[in-house]
Amino acid sequence: MGVMDGKVVLVTGAARGVGKAVALEMARAGAAVVVNDLGVSLKGDEGGDTQPCEDVVNEIKAMGGRAVANFGSVASWDDAHHMVQAALDNFGRIDAVVNNAGNLRDVLFHKMTEDDFDAVIGVHLKGSFNVSRAAAPHFKQQMSGSYVHMASTSGLIGNFGQANYSAAKLGIVALSKSIALDMQRFNVRSNAVAPFAWTRMVSSIPTDTPEQQKRVEGLKKLVPEKVAALCVALSADASKGVSGQIFGSRNNEIYLFSQPRPLRTAHTADGWTPETIIERVFPQFENDFYPLHRSGDVFTWDPV
């Protein structure tokens, strides 16, 4: 008996990388899977190849599982509802959503265009909202359901050239927490996962310097299948007490990330002025200021 026996799961962006690994692991755990993928380029603006998505469906069926392909765009409200309806039409219900679909438009902030920003926000953040919102009425009616949203340490910590992606991913963390709060009364859970895996999404990282080359070699050791197990566990009924959390998965390591809480406080009976804030507050807080770290500055050790 798998932990997802009898369940129906929608996985977006499931033709490759982490999404594919999640879809396959869900099937191994007993779930029927709606395998969604638009089949476009990494930037999200070229192609439309449906074959990789169909290949995942065929792989699931070959192992004795149940699956159906969907080629809609998470950035479309209507397409998102059609994805959920595909689960209902083919399998009679929906029990979990894994918001994995993504794109990249990496460019330094001062060179980023409006289209670069809107395209990434539209897929990652708006797409996660669209699909989650489409499933919400069904989760509410059946008084159960689970969301897993893909975040990133680019948003939690920071990275060069990813203002659009980082903003979207940190927005997804807030979206996940809001869903967890709003739908707790219906026994619906929502969690975020920051995955570490060598996929098409990270293969565009530059390798112009020895330091960059070393980092990429380390990233190539990170396999998406390791992320999939966590996503399945979070979707299982046995994890009903886990909601509103931020996890990370890096090969054989699983992290629980902190969430912002007050760190220091300063007060005065006279009230603050700009001058007294500069003179007193900033120097008092300075030792606790966070440096301008990137993800690679924090995760410096080799994968386990």
Active-site annotation, residues: 165
Encode 242-272 in three state secondary structure. Answer: CCCCEEEEECCEEEECCCCCCCCCCCCCCCC
Residue 177 parent element (H or E): helix 163-182
CB 32 within 8 A of CB 67: yes
Instruction: State the amino acid at position 228 in one-letter form.
Output: A
Q: Which residue's structure tokens are 């967890």?
A: 180
Q: How many CA atoms lie within 13 A of 79 on its CB side?
A: 15
Residue 77 parent element (H or E): helix 77-91
CA distance 26 to 194: 18
Instruction: State the amino acid at position 290 in one-letter form.
Output: Y
CB 247 within 8 A of CB 255: yes
